[in-house]
Structure 1
Amino acid sequence: MADRPDPGAILGCVLAGGGSTRFGSDKAVAMLDGATLLDRAVAALAAQCGDVVVAGRDGGVPDWPEPGLGPLGGLAGALRLARERGLAAVLATGVDSLGLPEDLIGALTPAPACLAAQPVVGLWPVACLSVLEDILTGGERRSMLHFAGRCGARLVELATPVANVNTRDDLVRLAAGRGDRGDGG
């Protein structure tokens, strides 16, 4: 596909700065099948991108313009880093999004695009950064779906949904292999 970006020109970003309030503790370090959720998310993106960063955690990409703005702050930090590096786009996922397809980039091309059920999983061209900065510094609603709409992003439905671990029960169901994909929220 001519519009498909080169994986080497895409920065992978795990959005991992949330408070994990429904989970009850830091879900990024929760274990599933011998690996933390953070390690699993990084590995899933590393298989598809030239480089992967973690946003919203100590030692990672800082949220922009400040911490506490949810996934949009982490995505803004990653898009700013991608722009500095001369990269074309950011492939983002939440630390709690499991079972990403092996060709997530292909599913989300042409970009901008995100998963309809989990808009934190998306492919965002660096050109979307100005829209995101306007949202984060203005009085607009700060939601991934609002950002997606303002960027003209396609909302993508996958044949196999991506799991979303919001609670310990979601993690237990995944570990038990019951196939419940979480509540999507």
Structure 2
Amino acid sequence: MSAIAGIVLAGGGSIRFGSDKLLAPYHGSSLLHRAIERVGEVSDDVIVVMSPAAADPAMPPRAKVVRDASEGEGPLAGLHAGLLATVRSDLAVVVGGDMPDLQPPVLRAMVLALHDGPGDAAALATTDGPSPLPIVLRTWPAADAVHTLLHAGRRRLGDVLDVLDTVVIDEKTWTAMDPGRRSLFDVDEPGDLER
């Protein structure tokens, strides 16, 4: 199988949370470390994209921090920084640093859907359409598409799925591996830690 990078987007401002949510304790770890651990189960390398002003948290040995030079430009700019750092990887599994309950079987199914078939992106189907996270991307087509989107003033993470040939894994398939739909769970407020 091709080289696979994990990209953890960790550049958000935690405004609704009230403090740096990525450092919040969660099941014996932190939100960020849980996301790194989960994506690390399906990738060869893990890249954590942080804003330039963020403090350097302690990282697991296999995680490499990349700074998003365009602070304030949104998650799409962070994705671009992460993709540019994946020099030797054909595929990138992209998750949020606030997604502590990602299910590795679901991530593996997304990787296989893209590895074994056509398309430049894989996403999970939801009732609202393809979820913008987690996603799996073919690294270089995605980097080119994100670059074009940024220059066009588009900043939403979901925009990349609009312009790439996206394989959408139907809800019945992925929820059979994740009946609780934990792969879509993200933490926005302190109360979310109890869910």
**Amino acid aligned to 2:108:** I
Q: Distance in 2 between matches of 1:92 and 1:71?
A: 11
Show the 5 A alignment for 1:151-162. 151-156=164-169, 157=171, 158-159=174-175, 160=178, 161=181, 162=183
Mapped to 2, the partners of 1:62 and 1:151 lie a distance apart of 25
**Contact 2:34/2:101 (CA < 8 Å) preserved in 1?**
no
SS in 2 for 1:91: strand
Identity across the alignment (%): 31
Task: Give structure 1 stretches of 5+ with no counterpart.
Answer: 174-185
Which of 128, 151, 157 lines up with 2:142 in the alignment?
128
Q: Is the 8 A contact 2:110 2:123 kept in 1?
A: no
Out of 5, 14, 18, the position equivalent to 2:12 is 18
> Are 1:63 and 2:76 matched, yes or no?
no
Q: Which has the higher strand share?
A: 2
Cross-structure match for 2:94: 92
Question: Superposition pairs for residues 32-47 of structure 1, below 5 Å?
Answer: 32-47=26-41
Distance 1:123 1:105 in 2: 10
Aligned equivalents of 1:52, 1:106: Cα separation in 2: 18
CA distance in 1, matches of 2:132, 2:192: 19
Q: How many Å apart are 1:105 and its aligned residue? A: 2.8
Tell me how far apart the structure 2 counterparts of residues 107 and 89 of structure 1 sit (CA, whole Å).
Answer: 11
Q: Which residue of 2 aligns with 1:178?
A: none
Count of aligned positions: 163
Computed over aligned residues only, the root mean square deviation of the Cα atoms, in angstroms, reads 1.8
Match of 1:177 in 2: none
Q: How does 1:160-171 map to 2 (within 5 A)?
A: 160=178, 161=181, 162=183, 163-171=185-193
Q: Which amino acid aligns with 1:172?
A: E
Q: TM-score, normalised by structure 1?
A: 0.80
Counterpart Cα distance in 2 of 1:169 and 1:46: 27
Equivalent residue of 1:120, what SS? Answer: strand
Deviation of residue 116 (structure 1)?
4.0
1:142 corresponds in structure 2 to: 155
How far does residue 78 in structure 1 lie from its aligned partner after superposition? 1.3
Amino acid at match of 1:93: V
Query: Which segments of structure 1 move beyond 4 Å, counting only runs of 4 or more?
Result: none
Does the 8 Å CA contact 1:78/1:90 hold for their aligned counterparts?
Answer: no
Query: Counterpart in 2 of 1:106?
Result: 109
Stretches of structure 2 lacking an aligned partner (at least 5 in a row): 57-64, 115-119
Query: Matched residue of 1:55: which SS?
Result: strand
Letter in structure 2 aligned against 1:99: D
Query: What secondary structure sits across from 2:148 in the alignment?
Result: helix
1:115 & 1:95 partners in 2: Cα distance?
Answer: 18
Can you list the C-alpha shifts for 1:42-73, whole angstroms capped at 9, x where unaligned?
11111111110100245521225x12222211
